[in-house]
A = this chain, B = another copy of it.
């Protein structure tokens, strides 16, 4: 018998992607939970999909016998709903930034707001399975990683663990994202005529995702430079990561570091030395593709890491976590 899972925020891009994935999941029946914040925005879910609808309350969630809820909501809504759903005994995967930073101080510093659920912040498991798989199956609350940090951490952490990054130089991460990463709420910045035939940098050196990279990768703040950019496309994140390699003679040595770390991982794909992914390689998949280039004369290396921001960077990874929590194969509905 299928387990029922609620989706909040299905009128947004990540929420609609959750629906698109879960309707193909053999063990899960998705239930749309209508939240007051959704307003009158038309659903981005196309076609003849007819799914059960319910109110977005703990009572309705219990009545619908939900095994879990997925929150594709803003951080303040996520804080409130997580507390309510967990109190009703319903497990939560939260796609917002509400529960990723572990301490209220750090949250205040980067999100410029007070955290209203400090106990849950401390309790939440960080949902990057490739590095934190142990805690997820039993977790009540999983903080689904940010899109930029997913691509960055999967690329950087194995190199730091292996000691092949010259830490005096540190790491530069030049990140580019499609527009769906900015959400579905209309704004001048994401209006078609402002974005098409344009390209822009934003949140330079102060993006909210920076502390998430630091926490998981092991880098110190002074070792890391990060800039986000907007690409005039719908979906996809590509990060170009620069460092000086130590104890490494070739791109193949760096690929070997990744191969050791990611042996058996279903969602990380490595490229031949000197080859790198583009965004078509990962579009509409849950893969993170990683490629390496190295210049032996200067010791400088460049790693390119690519994901689909709505899949491995949001909804796909949330389902990956949900599979771990509910006892399905980790790749169910994702390959």
CB distance from A195 to the nearest CB of B (A): 4
Segment at the interface with B among A110-118, A138-146, A200-208: A200-208
Q: Does A46 sit within 8 A of B, measured CB to CB? A: yes
B231 touches A232 (CB 8 A): yes
Bound complex: CA A276 to CA B282 (Å): 30
B240 touches A279 (CB 8 A): no
CB distance from A255 to the nearest CB of B (A): 14
Bound complex: CA A179 to CA B194 (Å): 10
Q: Which among A188, A199, A205, A221 has the greatest number of chain B C-beta atoms within 10 A?
A: A199
Q: Does A229 sit within 8 A of B, measured CB to CB? A: yes
Q: Does A227 sit within 8 A of B, measured CB to CB? A: yes
Q: Does A131 sit within 8 A of B, measured CB to CB? A: no
Segment at the interface with B among A154-162, A291-299, A326-334: A291-299
Contact size range, A:
35 or more
A205 touches B293 (CB 8 A): yes
Bound complex: CA A64 to CA B220 (Å): 57
Quick one: closest B residue to A40, CB to CB?
A: B188
Q: Give the residues from 223 to 259 in chain A that come closer than 8 angstroms, CB to CB, to chain B.
A: 224-225, 227, 229, 231-236, 238, 240, 242
Chain B residues, CB < 8 A from A234: 192-193, 196-197
A295 touches B205 (CB 8 A): yes
B231 touches A188 (CB 8 A): no
Q: Give the residues from 262 to 307 in chain A that come closer than 8 angstroms, CB to CB, to chain B.
A: 269, 276, 278-285, 287, 293-295, 297-300, 302, 304
Quick one: closest B residue to A237, CB to CB?
A: B199
Chain B residues, CB < 8 A from A197: 178, 196-197, 233-236, 279-280, 283
A222 touches B297 (CB 8 A): yes
Segment at the interface with B among A30-38, A54-62, A73-81, A169-177: A169-177
Give the B-binding residues of A (Cβ under 8 A): 13, 41-42, 46-48, 168-170, 172, 174, 176, 178-180, 184, 186-188, 190-201, 204-206, 221-222, 224-225, 227, 229, 231-236, 238, 240, 242, 269, 276, 278-285, 287, 293-295, 297-300, 302, 304
Sample of 7 further A-B pairs with CB below 8 A, known A205-B298, A224-B298: A192-B192, A197-B235, A197-B280, A201-B302, A221-B297, A222-B299, A222-B300
